[in-house]
Amino acid sequence: MKIQVAGPGCPRCKETHKNVINALSELNLAADVEYITDISQFRKLGVMMTPAVIVDGKIVVSGKIPTVNELKEIFSKKNL
């Protein structure tokens, strides 16, 4: 699973990245996690609002800080 966190490096985006790491840890899942801060790069991915979480090329969260529990639910469904 490839997970990308997109945001310009603001506190909200950093919190989202931290929550992604924590959710993966709690689920004991391995994933390739990338934090994208280049606006032109995440715009190419279709991100219009940050923070955003992209799983295997699909935007699953945009414009809000997802909780660890929300992310765990998303990641669990992805692995089924």
What confidence tens digit (pLDDT) does each residue in 21-33 have? 999 999 999 999 9
Active site residue 58: no
Give percent above pLDDT 90 in the chain: 92
**Residue range(s) defining the domain that contains residue 31:** 2-79
56: CATH: 3.40.30.10
Confidence of residue 9 (pLDDT cuts 50, 70, 90): very high
- Please give the tally of structural domains in the chain: 1
Total-model pTM: 0.92
Comparing CA positions, the residue from 15, 22, 7 lying closest to residue 54 is 7
Q: Buried b vs exposed e over 59-80: b needs ≥16 C-beta within 10 Å?
A: bbbbeebbebebbbebbeeeee
Active site residue 56: no
Residue of 1, 10, 39, 48 with catalytic role: 10
More confident of the two residues 53 and 79:
53
CA 26 to chain CA centroid, Å, is 15
Largest CA distance in the chain: 32
